[in-house]
Structure 1
Amino acid sequence: MSFFNKVLASVGIGSAKVDTKLERDTVSPGEALRGVVEITGGNTEQKIDDIYLSLNTTYIKESDDKKYTVSGLIDRFRLAETFTLAANERKEIPFTFNLPSDTPLSFGKTKIWVATGLDIKNAVDPTDQDFIRVIPNPLMDSVLNAVSSMGFRLREAECEQAPHRLRRRLPFIQEFEFVPVSGPFRGRLDELEVVFFPQSSGETEILIQVDRRARGLGGFLAEALEMDESYVRFTVTNGDIPYMQQKLQSVIAKYA
């Protein structure tokens, strides 16, 4: 490679391009995501130090009483060792990885995407982004359908910075905020918040915040002191799916 071409490559002129093609863009937590990374060489030979895929989302972070949106890394996967890409060479690298069980779902404002990057020393690193749709697995779907069947409407779903006591592997949690519009809890609850803490594809821990409606002066004071809120933790498995609504209704009724 001529000195002139080396200079051009180092500043990203005539450098490699990357394009990731997914087999499908809809997947559930725990399922496999497959695809191929297509790399096309530029006008000059380049050494590729690393190829990686990262799974990302955004979440709300609070600092100094201000809220702002930041990117959050869910997981990162390395695809290839160092290799040299010739000028105009085309290379395909197939991949398969399982979505982590704690990947957020594509509800509300929550977006999830796969970012592909080539690590090229002393150069502008080529990148590519592909958004995916993450849908509930059967167990999560059963819980969300049960809440809906009890007369709750999903008002908001958002990833937020996790308080220290709720922090697990990731620095954020996804909250599903429901309001009762019909059914047994209309008029008894202000809202219901649900958070999933998946243990496996067939088992998940659930945290529910039950926010009771204030009634009279005592209720007003309780609400002002946040004594009208109860936090409930319990675990559900695939074996609970046929009876999910009865199980959730029984749990919520104890605190309504």
Structure 2
Amino acid sequence: MIKEISSTQNPTVKQLVALQEKSRIRRKTGEFLIEGVREINLALDAGFQLTQLLFCSAIADAEELAALQSKLSAEVTQIEVTEEVYKKIAYRSGTEGIIASAKAKKNTLSALDLPKNPLIMVAEAPEKPGNIGALLRTADAAGVDAFILANPRTDLYNPNIIRSSVGGLFTVPVATGSTQEVIDFLKQKNIAIYTAILQEAISYEKQDFTTASALVVGTEADGLSEAWRAAAKQNIIIPMQGRLDSMNVSVAAAILIFEARRQRGFTL
């Protein structure tokens, strides 16, 4: 049975807007919003549990909506909303008229199911959702075995992360933890740590990444904390020809991770 909501003052609408706008509400309820057909389908493929599906018939493509509805369990509440209500809830402009609420995962380190010879991307304390989204897109493109956020400063289910990752949040195994927890986890798994640090470093092209490896990047402003320097097997740098001494963290991560993939036999 499909419910209908036409008022922006409806309590359900207010709750959904709060989920979209406030990380505190997302943490309290354990839910978040997913906007867009592709992103919702990716979340379903990744085993995320949807709780509600909202759609605006005036905007949504009928065939795409029907295909998505056919995948839903009976427990998912379906709500048809007016265009006014949809625009009130939507984070993005120009989306397909479909939004879902879903239960967040715990994203613990212990939940990661790693292969025998893993390649892992680690980012310490990235703050900008756009950078995290770009890192997730890179992680997906390179097919890394896990993406780990150490000391995250931003809610993983921030709508801008979902938007900027183009659904990459759902296609890559993701975990979070404190810097020390991540270091301890990697050491326990016998995964070598390679840090993007200028001091006592070698060019990334000279480092062998064919064994179990974690490539670690920090923020452009602060770099990596001292704990990583002590834990690293080797510091690595990307030689640069210009006058600046840093580049965007997602660009740096992409260069490093694709070099590791090349060494492991990645071909187009």
Q: Do both proteins adopt the same fold according to a TM-score greater than 0.5, normalized to the shorter chain?
A: no
TM category, shorter: under 0.3
TM-score (norm 2): 0.26
Choose between structure 1 and 2: higher helix proportion. 2
TM-score (norm 1): 0.27
